[in-house]
Amino acid sequence: MSTAYQIVVCGSIVPDPLQTLEPVASPTGPALKNDMMLPAWLDPWAGHALYEAANLAKQHAGSKVTLVSLGPKAKLQQVMMTVGQKVPFELVALDGSASGFTEPAETAAALVEAIAALPGLDKSKLLVFGGWESASRGAGVTMQCIAERLGISDVFLGVDELKVQPDGALDILERIEAGKHQISRCAAPPAVLGWATGNLPEPKNNPQVGMVNMRAVMPALQKAKPVKVAADGVTFASVALPKQMRDTRIVKDASPDEIAREIVEWIKK
């Protein structure tokens, strides 16, 4: 039995990790120095979710992938020029902060509002994908907040694989403690999945896919709804980079036990 799914991927953008990220205090709260000048990428966890969604849609005729992305409109345009060449999707853009200092609950509220407004939304076919974690919003609770607001009780986190059974049930491979996995079975959509790394490589650039996507991406960016996501009621005493610490001593002919003992003593300090 083949089922057509409505797959919504929630994914934001993050600064290029190769850049120097320096937190500063701004009039509106903590921010990154020269934030608007930093090149951006699609969040790595969200990227895995998007590629898995496209792969699932390819296997099930009639399925549709929608990427709901919250971030500054100018940076979203920059990122979509690259991501749009990877896999086919429709974009719903929200023009707002992608800062790691925003509250997950407010982010989830904005995303849910956009999802609920999708034309022809059918919860019996709805799968909401997103990152299990985030390179900027590392709270790890955004997907759960989205599920609660959408009234979806089947939530799976740390997902590495999704298989659709002949009867339409979903077998989901989830990460658990001690480096192990468990297989969960969901009878049918709706469901929310927070993806880990998945099993798929990053798709190659396809200019033809990019041309098709960009015909819809540019109008979507022009219609991007301004949203305010902040951290109302939250105060930050300070923001700073972690301090680097190096304590080196060169010793010859030390046994492994001696080295291990010194490392443990150093950690205890």
- Interval 153-159 mean pLDDT: 90
Unique residue bearing structure tokens 């919250």: 70
Give pLDDT, residue 196. Answer: 87
Give pLDDT, residue 28. Answer: 66
Domain assignments of the chain as residue spans, ordered by start: 6-226
Contact 50, 42 (CB under 8 A): yes
Q: Is 258 helix (H, G, I), strand (E, B) or coil?
A: helix
Give pLDDT, residue 235. Answer: 67
Q: Which residues pair with 194 in a beta bridge?
A: 130, 157
CA–CA separation, 220 vs 205, rounded Å? 21
Confidence label for 2 from pLDDT (cuts 50, 70 and 90): low
DSSP 233: T
Lowest mean pLDDT among 50-54, 150-154, 176-180, 214-218: 176-180
pLDDT at 14 exceeding the cut of 70: yes
Give pLDDT, residue 138. Answer: 64
Contact 2, 56 (CB under 8 A): no
Taking alpha carbons only, the member of 201, 188, 148, 192 closest to residue 174 is 192
Give pLDDT, residue 151. Answer: 92
pLDDT at 1 exceeding the cut of 60: no
pLDDT at 66 exceeding the cut of 80: yes
Contact 194, 69 (CB under 8 A): no
pTM of the model: 0.80
Confidence label for 179 from pLDDT (cuts 50, 70 and 90): confident
The CATH number of 6-226 is: 3.40.50.620
Give 69-120 pLDDT, tens digit per residue: 888 888 888 888 888 888 888 999 888 877 777 778 888 888 999 999 898 8
Contact 158, 175 (CB under 8 A): yes
Phi, psi for 208 (deg, rounded to 5): -70, -40
CA–CA separation, 269 vs 264, rounded Å? 9
